[in-house]
Structure 1
Amino acid sequence: MPFENLREYMDALDAAGMLKRVKTKVSVDLEMAEILRRVMYARGPALLFEDVDNYSMRVLGNAFGSIERMKLALQMEEFEEIGEKITSLARMEMPSSLLGKIRMLPKLSDIADTAPKIVGKGPVNEVYEGEDYASLLSLPALKCWPKDAGRFITFGLVLTKNPETGIRNLGVYRMQILDDKHAIMHWQIHKRGAQHYLMNKEKGKGIEVAVIIGADPATVFSAVAPVPEGLDKYLFAGIVRSKGLRLVKCNSIDLEVPAEAEIVLEGYVDPNDLRLEGPFGDHVGYYSEQEPYPVFNLKGIMRRDDPIYLTTVVGKPVLEDAYIGYVIERAFLPLIRMFHPEVVDFAMPAAGWFQGLAIVSIRKRYPAQAKKVMLGLWGLGQLALTKMIIVVDDDVDVHNMDEVIWAVTARCNPARDILVLDNMPTDTLDPAASSPNIGSKIGIDATSKWKEEGAYYTPELAEVDEQTKALVDRRWSEYFR
């Protein structure tokens, strides 16, 4: 059964020995972030801080910081299952015959079971603080690095609606707290939340926003995941967890939020109020530059009576976001294969902060196919921001960097097999970009080359013959008596 809320998941972590309770008083000003980073770099457990200096809320961090924790969080062993569900829906066709439609009913029922449902109230309704009482300063938001511009919300799930279609989006964007009622929304231009904001701005309107802090694991994952355009994030969360979310309506804005959430900030983003955000240390490992971003205005806070504040920390990889990124990598492989059937496997190494490097293996059928795959992936959703793509043959394990490096050095002729594209979209936080959001890309064709691709001969791999392999396999134990 899926976890209904963050607390059920936290209890499961505790029962599995994956949670450590910190009873010492800890400050949110640099100290807590440094503890979380050290534990994360050491591959340690999730941490629940039970005594937070100057705050009544408990703080949970590193909740998703291992593959084992992600398997527990999403209640699955193979993350490809998520992508397989999505591709199955995408390929579904309604039959024309009555008998075919009757046979389709069980599948349609499965889809209905994963759709979100609005209910009257839930635990998040236990306390409501209106505009006169609500304060962002009540949140134990962290200051993560010494030169950060201040404290910021690191793991808020920012909910917006497409003003034309009504489709809901969840995204994780940092929010720099300015005072009790204002925070700067770091909406990178490529993100869907920013798109909704700009669509409203063009009409001279602000946009209503809810910020969910502490939801069930599937909803947290869905906020981070780059789902296909047009798919409601709440529906995606329901597909991931095989059960629809229970939602409640906000008090001061026209949005719906998970009934089991810990904290919900209600407000709006004003298109006419831009302020300099940052600098902040980020997931690339550098401080970002100051840039103007719009301001979130708080109207109210819904929360549980004793809320748990979910947080994460950023910095040079590998930290917690690496493991969420790995699930995204595995989950979206079936979708990549749907558009590019020649793809065998796909990896985005954590050390490359995921947007930095992708490695793809293909089953090659024609000359220059590797370049076709590179260009296709750069045109596929958030992969447009990937800086480097390496394409290898299907005899190379994309998760084994020794094999990948061997393929690059043995199968790539740089003058012939490297593709460089300039003035391309890049991650806003890319510290090597030539200008904000603009940079270059490199594609490395590390597949075996054919004569049609300029190879003067086709080298033959030196491989053990089957007879010798079988002989050594049979006698292996004898050699080490």
Structure 2
Amino acid sequence: MPYQDFRQFLDVLRQQGELIDIDRPVALTDVGKALKQAYQKGRPAVSFNYNSTEFPLVCGLYSDRNKALLAFQSDEKSIMQKVLDGLDNPIKPVMVNGAAPCHEVVIQEEDIDLYSLPIPTYSPKDGGPYITPGIVVSKDPETGVPDIGHYRFLILSKNTVSFSAQPFHRFGKNLAKCQKMGVKPRAALIIGVDPILAYTCQVQVHDQTNDWEVAGGLRGAPIELTKCKTCDIEVPATSEFVIEFEVDMDKTVMEGPLGEYTGYYTPASLKPVAKITAITHRKKPIFQGLLTGKPITENHILKQIPFEASFLKTLKRQFPTIDQISVRASAGVSFYVVISMNQRFAGEARQVILSAMSSNIRPKWVIIVDPDIDVHSSSDVEWAMAFRTQPQKDVIIVDQIPAGPSDPSIDDPTKPRPFRTASSIGIDATRPYGKPFSEVADVPGWEDFEMPELDGR
């Protein structure tokens, strides 16, 4: 059975020893330090139960791949097929009749106070307190198609925020459409949901995809929705918090800096201002935090499995003998891709490299290996690169292609985003097609050899 809500997932993490409770005061300005410590010591999720507000703050829910597997209720052997099956079988959401848990407490007008929430300033160089794990629910103003996505929100006052929405992301496109149509954009920020929704945000789909249906497919059951109080937006009925807002597209402020997924600070820049129109939450709600910055942090793990699955699904349409894909969390996920395949003809690996380079993921490094190489093993991949390649004939470099978002090494970071270009490198680390190659030196039958002395190690 899928998780019914955020709290049930927390219960599972506690049972698995993946969530620890801190029952002593921790300042919100020290949360980042505590999470960095946790990353060095097993990467558990952490609940800061005394943080100078009345709400517990839970962080690190997506801090490693094991928690991702728990979120999908899967294991490493079956995860990719489970995600692919979910993507192929979307399930429509359902509306909840009667009062929804997320509306147990409704706060509006003068009672709205963002400072009452446990929103950390993760680093002294951040532009201020940031909501980093929140999921924005918005709609295309022309078609009404809903979108969910992760966007950062800087707290400006008790009832105003600024946020960063790239123009090529769906929320950014929805905002641009609203401005063109003369419609005031309204949306909702949801915090504390079934973790599948957080992973759904990362799936690469076309703009007219109903993300609630994608989430239902991945979850294996429909998402239960309820209508917001001050805007025409539907949100998950069991959300811990819902922050409803309207955007003033004519007003901008300097937003940032914040350590981004590349591991570098993005400089402050002008961004829109949004006014909070309502905050609703469950009784005794739980807030959520998420540390961004130098890999590997939570946002890298969030992207990894959805990117791998959707990228595999796309490439296999043209190249059916592709076996596995790994996008490296340590390289910001989309910048480093390893693909294993059985070549059907000479040069096919190069075709895959060029197709990967031209995808929306925009990888900087694309490495193709044979199926005997574990794409998730750095040592396997490095072995293939060392002994199955000759750089003068197996390396492709393509210049003047669209840059990946927020890459600090691009040609001129001061250019507007649509004008930024970069280069990409592809490495064919497969054995030459149709030609003899040296035999692998290994010990056959070792998997079945009994060594009880090693049990428990």
- Counterpart of 1:398 (choices 368, 371, 375) is 375
**Who is 1:125 aligned against?**
103
What is the CA–CA distance in structure 2 between the aligned matches of 1:4 and 1:350, rounded to whole Å?
Answer: 28
Any idea what SS the aligned residue of 1:375 has?
A: helix
Query: Residues 417 and 460 of structure 1: is their aligned pair in 2 closer, same or farther, counting only changes over 3 Å?
Result: closer
What is the CA–CA distance in structure 1 between the aligned matches of 2:293 and 2:242, rounded to whole Å?
Answer: 26
**Who is 1:272 aligned against?**
250
**Who is 2:356 aligned against?**
377
What is the CA–CA distance in structure 1 between the aligned matches of 2:329 and 2:303, rounded to whole Å?
Answer: 8
Deviations 1:244-276 (A, max 9, x none): 111111111100111100111111222212222
- Counterpart of 1:62 (choices 55, 60, 63) is 60
What is the CA–CA distance in structure 2 between the aligned matches of 1:469 and 1:12, rounded to whole Å?
Answer: 40
What is the CA–CA distance in structure 1 between the aligned matches of 2:107 and 2:444, rounded to whole Å?
Answer: 72
Any idea what SS the aligned residue of 2:67 has?
A: helix
RMSD between aligned residues? 2.5
Amino acid at match of 1:36: L
Query: Residues 403 and 142 of structure 1: is their aligned pair in 2 closer, same or farther, counting only changes over 3 Å?
Result: same
Query: Residues 405 and 122 of structure 1: is their aligned pair in 2 closer, same or farther, counting only changes over 3 Å?
Result: same
**Who is 1:12 aligned against?**
12
Any idea what SS the aligned residue of 1:63 has?
A: coil
**Who is 2:342 aligned against?**
363
CA contact (8 A) 2:343 2:433 kept: no
For residues 416-455 of structure 1, the aligned pairs below 5 Å read 416-436=393-413, 437=417, 438=420, 439-449=422-432
**Who is 1:21 aligned against?**
21
Quick check: 249-258 or 164-173, which moved more?
164-173
What is the CA–CA distance in structure 2 between the aligned matches of 1:339 and 1:253, rounded to whole Å?
Answer: 42
What is the CA–CA distance in structure 2 between the aligned matches of 1:463 and 1:423, rounded to whole Å?
Answer: 39
CA contact (8 A) 1:79 1:331 kept: no
Amino acid at match of 2:104: E
Any idea what SS the aligned residue of 1:374 has?
A: helix
* 1:73 Cα offset (Å): 2.1
**Who is 1:286 aligned against?**
264
What is the CA–CA distance in structure 2 between the aligned matches of 1:16 and 1:450, rounded to whole Å?
Answer: 46
* 1:117 Cα offset (Å): 2.7
What is the CA–CA distance in structure 2 between the aligned matches of 1:87 and 1:328, rounded to whole Å?
Answer: 10
* 1:379 Cα offset (Å): 3.7
What is the CA–CA distance in structure 2 between the aligned matches of 1:476 and 1:273, rounded to whole Å?
Answer: 70
What is the CA–CA distance in structure 1 between the aligned matches of 2:377 and 2:350, rounded to whole Å?
Answer: 22
* 1:377 Cα offset (Å): 2.4
Any idea what SS the aligned residue of 2:291 has?
A: coil
Any idea what SS the aligned residue of 2:295 has?
A: coil
What is the CA–CA distance in structure 1 between the aligned matches of 2:448 and 2:100, rounded to whole Å?
Answer: 63
Report how many residues are paired: 443
What is the CA–CA distance in structure 1 between the aligned matches of 2:66 and 2:369, rounded to whole Å?
Answer: 29
Amino acid at match of 2:83: G
Quick check: 144-153 or 418-427, which moved more?
418-427
For residues 175-194 of structure 1, the aligned pairs below 5 Å read 175-194=153-172
**Who is 1:247 aligned against?**
225
Query: Residues 415 and 125 of structure 1: is their aligned pair in 2 closer, same or farther, counting only changes over 3 Å?
Result: same
Any idea what SS the aligned residue of 1:346 has?
A: strand
Unmatched runs of 5 consecutive residues or more in structure 2: 452-457
**Who is 1:48 aligned against?**
47
What is the CA–CA distance in structure 2 between the aligned matches of 1:294 and 1:129, rounded to whole Å?
Answer: 23
Amino acid at match of 1:442: I
What is the CA–CA distance in structure 2 between the aligned matches of 1:264 and 1:476, rounded to whole Å?
Answer: 55
Instruction: Report which of the two structures shows the higher radius of gyration computed on alpha carbons.
Output: 1
**Who is 2:385 aligned against?**
408
Query: Residues 291 and 337 of structure 1: is their aligned pair in 2 closer, same or farther, counting only changes over 3 Å?
Result: same
What is the CA–CA distance in structure 1 between the aligned matches of 2:231 and 2:390, rounded to whole Å?
Answer: 58
* 1:474 Cα offset (Å): 10
**Who is 2:454 aligned against?**
none
For residues 69-80 of structure 1, the aligned pairs below 5 Å read 69-77=67-75, 78-80=78-80
- Answer yes or no: is 1:38 the counterpart of 2:37: yes
**Who is 2:3 aligned against?**
3
- Counterpart of 1:210 (choices 188, 205, 209) is 188
Query: Residues 473 and 150 of structure 1: is their aligned pair in 2 closer, same or farther, counting only changes over 3 Å?
Result: closer
Pick the structure with more helix per residue: 1
* 1:15 Cα offset (Å): 2.3
What is the CA–CA distance in structure 2 between the aligned matches of 1:379 and 1:136, rounded to whole Å?
Answer: 42
* 1:155 Cα offset (Å): 0.4
* 1:27 Cα offset (Å): 0.9
What is the CA–CA distance in structure 1 between the aligned matches of 2:151 and 2:188, rounded to whole Å?
Answer: 12
Query: Residues 197 and 319 of structure 1: is their aligned pair in 2 closer, same or farther, counting only changes over 3 Å?
Result: same
Query: Residues 306 and 449 of structure 1: is their aligned pair in 2 closer, same or farther, counting only changes over 3 Å?
Result: same
CA contact (8 A) 2:324 2:340 kept: yes
Deviations 1:15-48 (A, max 9, x none): 222221101111111x111101210232232111
**Who is 1:105 aligned against?**
none
Any idea what SS the aligned residue of 1:24 has?
A: strand
Deviations 1:416-458 (A, max 9, x none): 332223332233321112234422222222223359xxxxxx4
Identity rate, percent: 28
CA contact (8 A) 2:200 2:306 kept: no
Amino acid at match of 1:262: E
**Who is 1:107 aligned against?**
none
CA contact (8 A) 2:262 2:294 kept: yes
**Who is 2:113 aligned against?**
135
Query: Residues 408 and 189 of structure 1: is their aligned pair in 2 closer, same or farther, counting only changes over 3 Å?
Result: farther
**Who is 1:256 aligned against?**
234
Quick check: 277-286 or 372-381, which moved more?
372-381
CA contact (8 A) 1:160 1:208 kept: yes
Amino acid at match of 1:85: D
* 1:232 Cα offset (Å): 1.3
For residues 309-320 of structure 1, the aligned pairs below 5 Å read 309-320=287-298
**Who is 1:101 aligned against?**
none
Q: Which runs of 4+ in 1 moved over 6 A?
A: 472-477
CA contact (8 A) 2:86 2:218 kept: no
What is the CA–CA distance in structure 1 between the aligned matches of 2:207 and 2:94, rounded to whole Å?
Answer: 18
CA contact (8 A) 1:37 1:319 kept: no
Query: Residues 202 and 379 of structure 1: is their aligned pair in 2 closer, same or farther, counting only changes over 3 Å?
Result: farther
CA contact (8 A) 1:208 1:269 kept: yes
Deviations 1:212-271 (A, max 9, x none): 011111222212333444321111111111111111111111001111001111112222
